[in-house]
Chain A
């Protein structure tokens, strides 16, 4: 059997007024964490909804384990939507038990409860959960059937930094079990930290695909120097590629020594100088000409 778990061939979705997905091809191997990135309106939510089986493609083919999406997929897929309401007046435990009963194959609920850190909230009404607790419950719901493939749609949107980090730990645990994950996110640091492979979508098409490191290496061989705008106000930077942020200026260069020599020659203090490597945010800006919107 092929190790290709999911194959998407020339997927197209047209709405009356917009081409949301315009011919994309993706092949997912079992056990990878695949990140689908893009701004609002890029077509990634439509793509994921088609992959999840809750939306229909205009044309194209999707194969799960070599077969069209069907009952087997629904039984073996775990899905966490970005925003899902759960039933009122029902406790966390009852919610997990209800969803567990929908599937022929079950994860061990007690183990799942511990892993998702839900033990303290088991008898709590769904309405009374905080944002982080709720996201952990939705993740647990996505895992009740011990799925082979898990779709996580912007799972950390709206969480505070600590809750995000905790959530990343959970996803890394799932990855360690060899599960296949499809992750959509606005956060480039999240994609970099979790994904083995990413695809960047814009205008319904995939404009770049590969591992985060390979994509950065392919597109950049330079670094960025940052200094406060006030330090550089009397310096002629016209020979450099610069980008002015709120309170500082970024200079992109392949020759750090030459730029620093210029700063020294102009008596500029280097005490606040920062040098950073290129990130996925830079890559997206480079490829699409626009910043990721949240």
Chain B
């Protein structure tokens, strides 16, 4: 291993990436745009869990009045006409609203297959109880900062952006260089495969960390998301995650000479990870087989560890399982990728 040769490759690769403005911009802009989009989409009033159409404002009973004054339920007026009522009933059928109620006649419509409709009905019937029962449960209250969906999803978006940069930034570039003969030219020099690959990995990890830090602080400035844990721990998780996913990219790019094939394979790996690694929705309650498959993905562990740090303020010990998995995956992928690697 010659440090001089490693450094020459490392610095050149960094310059190439930084000067490729379109690639650099996309690496930074994509997560920011996603976060901005989600922030906008979920910027409405929080707590409206149910949506109910109300046919008449002429409320017949105190029970109906009590029900219609409940918080965290969105009530909206429905015109008292046959057409409007039919349309609203259709919406109930299609799960677009949870209930339609006529406050004057005390009639209501729910969809018997809708869980939300079932809950709203229970609330309505609870309000209809005329005799207060003896209180059995004792109320306790807690308070805390609201965790918005945007707070929950940001660790996943940062991890996902890192995944795309790692897989495509190394895998795709290596295939391109193999195809256009650049790797063949390097093979004819004293450069070893280990020097070349380690320079590519080091360059990409540093670039990913810089871009991720930029996106992290830039996004936080606008969205002010929750960060309850240690920045160093988060840095460690992202660095290890980047290494594991770059190594995965190396395996994909080890021998392929076609950019089209490489693109297809990289998508084959990245898309399932994007959807089934808990980036967008929690896997709790998902089918056990899906949860088991998700365990294989590095993105699952990066997202889970980052989320634990940012939202729960978890320490290294609490995320040690994820760190261990990422370390093992990095080592296995790296060794296998280096073993498979061919210059031409």
Contacts and interface: CB of A to CB of B under 8 A. Distances in A.
A54 B189 contact: no
For A52, A53, A54, A75, the residue with the greatest tally of chain B CB atoms inside 10 Å of its CB is: A54
Contact of A99 (B11, B20, B189): B189
Contacts of B187: 54
Nearest to A89: B19
B314 interface: no
B181 A101 contact: no
B82 interface: no
A90 B15 contact: yes
Contacts of A89: 15-16, 19-20
B185 interface: yes
B175 to A, nearest CB: 13
Nearest to A72: B190
B230 interface: no
B12 A74 contact: no
Interface in B1-54: 4-5, 7-9, 11-12, 15-16, 19-20
A97 B182 CA distance: 16
Given A94-B15, A102-B190, A81 B181 contact: yes
A253 B177 CA distance: 54
Interface in A93-107: 94, 97-99, 101-104
A189 B83 CA distance: 92
A52 B188 contact: yes
Nearest to B184: A54
A83 B184 CA distance: 10
B173 to A, nearest CB: 10
Interface string B150-188: 000000000000000000000000000100111011011
Contacts of A85: 177, 180-182
B129 to A, nearest CB: 73
A102 B184 contact: no
B191 interface: yes
A53 B188 contact: yes
B8 A102 contact: yes
Given A84-B181, A90-B15, A90-B16, A101 B8 contact: yes
B344 interface: yes
A112 interface: no
Given A54-B344, A94-B12, A84 B184 contact: yes
Contact of A88 (B4, B16, B188): B16
Interface centre among A52, A85, A99 (most CB of B within 10 A): A85
Contacts of B343: 54
B16 A101 contact: no
A221 interface: no
A79 B191 contact: no
A39 B177 CA distance: 28
B178 to A, nearest CB: 10
A52 B188 CA distance: 7
B248 to A, nearest CB: 24
Most buried by A among B5, B8, B189, B343: B189
A124 B2 CA distance: 29
Contacts of B8: 97-98, 101-102
Contacts of A98: 8-9, 11-12
Contacts of B177: 85
A103 B189 CA distance: 8
Contacts of B344: 54
Contacts of B188: 52-54, 74, 77, 79, 81
Contacts of A54: 184, 187-188, 343-344
Interface string A93-129: 0100111011110000000000000000000000000
**Of listed B9, B20, B185, residue having the most chain A CB within 10 A:** B185
Contacts of A71: 190
Contacts of B5: 101-102
Contacts of B12: 87, 90, 94, 98
Interface string B126-160: 00000000000000000000000000000000000
A84 B190 contact: no
B168 to A, nearest CB: 16
A219 B311 CA distance: 87
Nearest to A95: B12
Nearest to A102: B189
Contacts of B182: 84-87
A102 B7 contact: no
Contacts of A74: 188-190
Nearest to B187: A54
Contacts of A88: 16, 20
Contacts of A79: 185, 188
A151 to B, nearest CB: 9
Nearest to A138: B185
B202 to A, nearest CB: 16
A98 B191 CA distance: 11
A241 B343 CA distance: 52
B7 A84 contact: no
A53 B184 CA distance: 11
A133 B176 CA distance: 23
* B20, B184, B343: most-surrounded residue (chain A CB, <10 A): B184
Interface of A: 52-54, 71, 74-75, 77, 79, 81, 83-90, 94, 97-99, 101-104
5 contacts: A54-B187, A81-B188, A101-B4, A102-B189, A104-B190
Given A81-B185, A89-B15, A90-B16, 20 more contacts: A52-B188, A54-B187, A54-B343, A54-B344, A79-B188, A81-B181, A81-B188, A85-B177, A85-B182, A87-B182, A88-B16, A89-B16, A90-B12, A94-B12, A98-B11, A98-B12, A99-B189, A101-B7, A102-B191, A103-B189
Return the 9 tightest CB-CB contacts between A and B, nearest first.
A85-B180, A101-B8, A89-B19, A102-B189, A79-B188, A84-B185, A89-B16, A98-B12, A98-B8
